[in-house]
Amino acid sequence: MNIEDFGLDYIVCECFDVTLGEIIDSIKAGNNTLETLMYDTDAGTACKLCQSKEMDEDKDRSLHLTTILEHFNRQNG
């Protein structure tokens, strides 16, 4: 699935109820590394499953922070 297939209100991080829209806003505000994005939004800082596919072996989450970051960094790079 592509990022475009998810709505802005899709919950990327269930632990902290962080939406795709909030993640995108944070990336656009300059938090374009996993570390700064996690620090800014709290997403990915509890169970960590939403961080990346590698952290989510059982595919608990459909969209991961690293996937979103790669998408935007590719656009801007």
Give the residues lining the site for ligand FES (CB under 6 A).
13-15, 43-50
Q: In this complex, which beta carbon is closest to ligand FES, that of residue 48 or of residue 71?
A: 48
Amino acid residing at 56: D
At its nearest, how many Å lie between ligand FES and the CB of residue 77?
A: 25
φ/ψ of residue 19, rounded to 5: -90, 165
Q: In this complex, which beta carbon is closest to ligand FES, that of residue 56 or of residue 70?
A: 56
Residues contacting residue 51 through CB under 8 Å, at least 6 positions apart: 34, 38, 44, 64, 65, 66
At its nearest, how many Å lie between ligand FES and the CB of residue 9?
A: 16
